[in-house]
Amino acid sequence: MNATDILPAAWTENMILVDAEYVDRVAFDLIVNFGRMIGRRIPAADLARWIDCVALDGGMKPAAEGEASTTATTVVMVHDVKSPWLENFRPSAFEGEISGKAFSDNLGEFSFIAVSHEGLSTKAEMIADIAEMASMQKEVRRLMIVADADDPSAIDLLRNRLRNADDEKRITLFAMQPVAGGNFRQEILGYSLMNALGIRADEIK
């Protein structure tokens, strides 16, 4: 399967592109480490709440009070074929609970596509392919990417594929630590995950 097989029929104004295993691994590390630090059990992350936080960090704005947002966002979650669900998020199953589902709030409608990576290309290559194609679409104004920042080759691929992206597009890479270079903004992934995990700022002071 290649990137063109799973892309939406119509491009949306916003796109969130996620390496599912990477974000699941980071969520697990936060659950374990902060659970020990603050001395309580931390539940699985609320997937919709996390997506909302990523959207806000990526530059999306909520509708004014009393108004409904008409903004559309496509969330593409790329996962390994042997990983049918997220271990540390709810909902968790890609088929039946995530892919093909949607939710709406004051940031607009978020529609999910989950695709298992398999074939000749690597998952990092598939994510880079999708990111490059999205960056070329006139309809897409904001692109938010959660790639495997622990894999330097994955970040190198994104740097190369996005180097000619239109400067008017807002492209944001989410990682736990800043990465060098790249034609994109950067945000710390941990902040949005901590919010989705229900970890309060006053608990970690």
Taking the CA atoms of 44, 90, 142 and 105 in sequence, report the sign of the dihedral they define: negative
pLDDT at 204: 80
- Secondary structure (DSSP) of 42-109: -PPEEHHHHHHHHHHHTT--PPPTT-----EEEEEEEEETT--B-SSEES-BIIIIITT-EEEETTEE
Q: Summarize the chain as % helix, strand, coil (round to 5).
A: 35, 25, 40
Identify the helix (H) or strand (E) that includes residue 192.
helix 189-196
Please report the pLDDT score of residue 32 as a whole number: 96
To the question of pTM greater than 0.85 for the whole model, the response is yes
Q: What is the pLDDT along the chain (205 residues), one digit of tens a residue?
A: 555 555 666 799 999 999 999 999 999 999 999 999 999 999 999 999 999 999 999 999 998 888 888 899 999 999 999 999 999 999 999 999 999 999 999 999 999 999 998 776 899 999 999 999 999 999 999 999 999 999 999 999 999 999 999 888 999 999 999 998 889 999 999 999 999 999 988 888 6
d(CA 185, CA 192): 16
